[in-house]
Amino acid sequence: QVQLVESGGGLVQAGYSLRLSCAASGRTLDYYAMGWFRQAPGKEREFVAAISWDGGSTSYADSVKGRFTISRDNAKNTVYLQMNSLKPEDTAVYYCAAADQTLIVVRTATAYDYWGQGTQVTVSS
């Protein structure tokens, strides 16, 4: 089984930045797309960003486009989410996910096979 562990969450003021990391361990996957999702209390889990296996293609939710950047380092089995110009509405638990044997960008949560436990991001006004 594959384990995904997020880190880098915390409390920041609006306008500041955070970088989330997600490290994969356990069973080695041949290839996999990665994504970030978030969920605020009482709300549905929503798509944030996704990246293809080779890192050449990315996709972002409209709400974060231009502010967030997803990247990956396959040699380190790690995916990142750089979050700039944070807003209070970005407050949520952020989850990383891996879609096994998937090369392309995927925006749908049901396509992902493995999930991290989440890291809290809180943006104060």
Angle at CA 113, nearest 5°, toward 22 and 19?
15
Q: How far apart are CA 73 and CA 44, in angstroms?
A: 29
CA-based max dimension of the chain: 43
> What size, in residues, is the chain?
125
Per-residue pLDDT of the chain (125 residues; tens, 9 = 90+): 889 999 999 999 999 999 999 999 887 778 999 999 999 999 999 999 999 999 999 999 999 999 999 999 999 999 999 999 999 999 999 999 999 999 999 999 999 999 999 999 999 99
**Two tokens, residue 110:** 């049901």
Q: Residue 2's pLDDT is what? A: 87
